[in-house]
Chain A
Amino acid sequence: MQIIVVTATKGASVALVALGINIIFATTRIVNFAQGGTIVAAGYIAYLFAAPDQLGLNVWVAFVITIVVGIGIGVFIDVFAIAPLGGFNARENTGWLVMAVSLVLLIVFWFVVPVTALQILCALGFAIGFGLEVLRTPAAAKFDPNKNLGWIISTFALGVTFMPAIISASIATGPQRIPDLIPGTLATIGGVPITYGDLLLVAVAVGLMLGIELLLARTMLGRSFHAVSQDRTTASLMGINTGRIVLISFAIAGLLAAVTAVLIAPTQFIKEENSILLSFSALIGAVLGGLGSTRGAIVGSFVVVFVQTFCATLLPLVGFTADDAARAGDLVVFVGLLVLLGVKPSGLYGRVAVEKV
């Protein structure tokens, strides 16, 4: 019973993260290492607004604010760290330059000569630059992700270095919690409590997954997504603004991160390590299912979480310590992934690229 409940709740959150990684991979062929960082940032922002010892707003209000901020973070990652890669041009990317200069000045007026008024001014300048760059809807970055590895550095630098640091410098450090969205427990089955929070998490996750599937399958926007993910050049020749599609994919990823952060915050602590573990599982899930396939990401995530939970729950019964059981679970997942990739090199649902000679 515990296995089912944990698989459902944890699997749902992992699948949400995997979806975010996946949608960005589909449009850009890069893996967004900042997804974990976005969850951390969104979690702390929810904490800032919702925690009783902070601003103390209603949790649902905080939820909405966090979603907006999460989308903003996603767009920011694209505009600041992905879109200008490989094709930076000082004349076109004026918005980026404004962002960069205000960021440098902000750092100076924050850490070196702390002046609040100037900080606000710099933040304003940053926002203006951000707006300029978003409105410009830049063309999607023209770089070969296998040759120009700048994206690894920029997403990692933002997600693992920049965002946690700026949060710890401005909001809080250490593990934090926020109040439950819906307090209370529905039932206790076999000694395992099923909270309303768990239900909400699973329900929201399923809803979002269905929504994204429908979006991709039924709408013009979804068709544009598919076009961009198959062949970006042809898509742009067909009049699709590839830059905007990429931007939207980052926005959706940001939204997913924010939702995940708020939904898991009441049960798990908001802290960096948790998000890293979450993104680790999500990454395996996405690869297992086949990068670029929505269905694959969901199935893969649940499989991964199930195996991990299975090992972590059952192995202690045969004499393993809890730590060792968790480790063994990770190992089993990893070996399973290797075997699967040996048989199907592009994952469960991955498209097999046919090479034309």
Chain B
Amino acid sequence: MTQQQFPPAPGWPEPGAAPGTVPGAHDGGRPQPPWSGAAVPVAPDTASGAWSGSATDPVPVVAPAAVDVIDTGGAGAASAAGVAADLPPEFVSEPADRPPAGAAPGGEARRRSLMPWIGFAVFALTVYGLWYWPIFSYVYTDQGRFFVSAMIASLCLSIAAMGLNLVAGYTGMLSLGHASFVGSGAIFMVAFTNAGVYPWLAMPLAVVAGALVGAVVAVACVHLKGFYLSIVTFLFAFIVPTFVALVTGGTNTFTPQRRLPGLYPEEGLIDLGFAPAAAYQIRFYWFVAFCTVAVIALTWFLVRSRFGRAWQAIRESDIAAKACGISVYPYRLYSFVVSAALAAFGGALLSQDPNKAQVTTSDFGFLASFTLVFYVVLGGLGSIAGPLIGAVGLGVVIPWVFNNFPPGNPISSLPGATGVVLGTLLVFNVVLAPDGAVGMLRNARSRVEKASLKRGRPPRKPKDPDTTDADRVPRPRHDPATLTGTPMLELRAASKIFGGLRAVDSVDMVVWPGNIHSLIGPNGSGKTTTINVITGFYQADEGRVLFKGHDVTEERSQQRAHRAMTRTFQNLQVWRDMTVLQNVLVGMTPLPGRGGGRASASRAFGLLEYVGLAGRAHDKAGSLALAELRYLEIARALAADPDLLLLDEPAAGMNPAETHELTALIRDVNAHGITVLLIEHHMDLVMELSDSITVLDFGRKIAEGSPIEIQNDPRVIEAYLGAEAEV
């Protein structure tokens, strides 16, 4: 058992430093990863232009020198993207007649700087129109009255739909009973005000009460998988009116005795038989519009926060989420409760709708729940603006069309016509635009971008975060030198039993700090099961697992991740719908006191530079090639600053050249002080890297020792190498 010397870390290779002697051809235009130390000129061509070269210089010019490739890293993209990069891409639409890139840099910059102003002007005009138009039209026309009343109801429901979008779109839990939380909010609001609570105080109370109802439902159903959760929420919505009727002794209707003061100048009782004056309607409309904007901003921040990323990670793969230290159950619970609170807020607002004399439970049955789902899906599941677009489209635009078309004989006056037309439209919508209105807009934008890419103009990319040298290297949480004497990892007679099969049979194993320890064995010998026992995906049935001297046998995988033990997966567990950078950001969850922000982004981007994926930081992870996905998993595992990194067949599916690069990467990771436990079938890689090797066969340890000892061990040759005939 050889203890590796520390610190042998060569540190970050200086830009332009003498090329190292890493062998291996770097074929396929793969960018030169910084850790390999070699400097082979990379020629970014347009075919693989999106990612060839870590300098994402968008103009396909002459290949930059290799030094530049390393030096500029992500910063190159920032400078090239120019002024527009400062703006989020959503606010900059692609002008159709932009001059070719590089033709007139000054003119382009000026044009680009004009776009946000045009966008702002359109936005301002829209706001102005929505703000003042109702006043005039409401007073003078029926259309205006229809618009205001329909808008009020739709906006209230759009707030609830935004809540639903959080669970269904971002966390991946389809609730079919969200109207029951809307109903709870409305009923509590009315009940509290009628009990004498000041209405402005009653509103937050109603939201809290609705969130509590949501918490009860969440506890009952969040543990359920897939559609079972939907069904339980659906049945819940079905049962709520029954429940309310049982509790109140048959009352299903609640009449508010008092409305929000300020919006309704008269204190006390309002005679609801008397139509409220126009001014009240318009004031309430403004108030609801303001609330909608506020909730949109809230969801925007929430989705981009640590919570939002964790939710999306759970939606995509809860296994990877656990490996990254995310406790799945509480996050799903938070998501559901926040969502229920938003729905209750929408309901509390709805109960104050001037056009509604009372709140009826049947308004919040399963039909209303489905309406909310319609809003979210037709607008765009998992997008911020989707629920609003869906609510206004279905709640205002469609009824308006039905009431006015065809002129003289509108659809809504014919028996059955509304249902037939609406049903047809809905089916058309989901078949022809499966990602909703927002999906259609996105498709249109990507088509424009593709067209401009064909004409030699690269798509605009978000700005890359600036990184420091420290961000670009892996760093263990503890210096392995401080752990002398204590094994990094120790298995004491650990067993895992499936039925009658002892997949891991009382295995003893010790991994010393700073080492690269390999776990090998023929197929089905229990290697991956051992990793799962070590990382807590399986609980050991017998024996103990010790990590840095702590007994972690009873701990769950996310707790072990928090102890700085991270892993990669043999069958990749990447969050494919999230960007590469977001994947790494979620990997930082186990870091103490890390709540997002600039520093995290820099660190995550630095690690992508380290593994050579910086050029693809803003692409969806699902678009990566297999080898890149393996590097992404390594970067994500490194993001938690692990003391122990478990690599489960990292070279599976890689060609020899890629395997060689990987060897260099693992060695460099280890050189920075991270202990590595490696499972691998590529024997040359194992023998080249390992300080020590454990061999498993049929779940039992059959040999342990240095690479030389293992290669000469007769039992190993018999069980494993003899069969495969290659060392």
Contact = CB atoms under 8 A, between A and B. Distances in A.
Interface in A87-133: 88, 96, 100, 103-104, 107, 110-112
A341 B232 contact: yes
Nearest to B176: A152
Given A107-B421, A152-B370, A168-B416, A331 B239 contact: yes
A230 B417 CA distance: 41
Of A153, A160, A170, A324, most buried by chain B (CB within 10 Å of CB) is A153
Contacts of B528: 357
A283 interface: yes
Contact of B246 (A110, A149, A150, A324): A324
A337 B235 contact: yes
A53 interface: no
Nearest to B172: A146
Contact of B426 (A85, A161, A173): A161
Given A287-B231, A346-B228, A357-B569, A153 B419 contact: no
A169 B434 contact: no
A197 interface: no
Interface in B416-449: 416-424, 426-432, 434
B152 interface: no
Interface string B510-547: 00000000000000000010001000011000000000
A327 B227 contact: no
Interface of B is mostly: helix
Contacts of B235: 280, 283-284, 334, 337
B419 A161 contact: yes
Contact of B414 (A111, A162, A342): A111
B130 interface: no
Interface in B400-428: 406, 409, 411, 414-424, 426-428
Contacts of A62: none
B257 interface: no
B246 to A, nearest CB: 6
A330 B239 contact: yes
B419 A165 contact: yes
Contacts of A162: 419-420, 422-424, 427
Chain A interface: which size bin?
35 or more
A84 B433 CA distance: 11
Contacts of B424: 103-104, 107, 162
Interface in B340-392: 367, 370, 373-374, 376-378, 381
Nearest to A31: B227
Given A111-B411, A345-B224, A357-B532, A164 B537 contact: no
Interface in A151-178: 151-154, 156-158, 160-170, 173
A190 to B, nearest CB: 30
Contacts of A168: 415-416, 419
Interface in A12-39: 25, 29, 31
Interface string B216-236: 000011011111101110111
A101 B223 CA distance: 44
Nearest to A291: B227
Contact of A280 (B228, B238, B378): B238
A353 interface: yes
Contacts of B225: 345-346, 353
B571 A356 contact: yes
Given A146-B172, A169-B417, A157 B426 contact: yes
Contacts of A334: 235-236, 239
B105 to A, nearest CB: 41
A143 interface: yes
A169 B419 CA distance: 10
A283 B318 CA distance: 28
A323 interface: yes
A166 B243 contact: no
Given A96-B431, A157-B426, A356-B571, A149 B168 contact: yes
B432 A149 contact: no
B431 A154 contact: yes
Nearest to A327: B242
A156 B373 CA distance: 11
Contacts of A324: 245-246, 250
Contacts of B434: 85-86, 88, 143, 148, 150
Contacts of B230: 31
A240 interface: no
Contacts of A149: 168, 174, 373, 376-377, 381
A231 interface: no
Contact of A84 (B238, B246, B431): B431
Given A84-B431, A145-B227, A357-B569, A157 B420 contact: no
Given A149-B174, A150-B431, A169-B415, A331 B224 contact: no
Nearest to B246: A327
B664 interface: no
Contacts of A29: 227
Contacts of A150: 377, 430-431, 434
A153 B430 contact: yes
Contacts of B378: 153
B416 A166 contact: yes
Contact of A111 (B168, B319, B417, B428): B417
Given A284-B235, A342-B220, 16 more contacts: A81-B430, A153-B378, A153-B427, A154-B430, A165-B417, A169-B417, A280-B238, A324-B246, A324-B250, A327-B246, A338-B220, A338-B221, A338-B232, A341-B232, A357-B532, A357-B537
Closest 7 CB pairs of A and B: A165-B419, A162-B423, A169-B416, A150-B430, A157-B426, A161-B423, A327-B242
9 contacts: A111-B420, A145-B227, A149-B381, A165-B416, A165-B418, A166-B419, A324-B250, A334-B235, A345-B228
Interface of A: 25, 29, 31, 80-81, 84-86, 88, 96, 100, 103-104, 107, 110-112, 143, 145-154, 156-158, 160-170, 173, 280, 283-284, 287, 291, 323-324, 327-328, 330-331, 334, 337-338, 341-342, 345-347, 353, 355-357
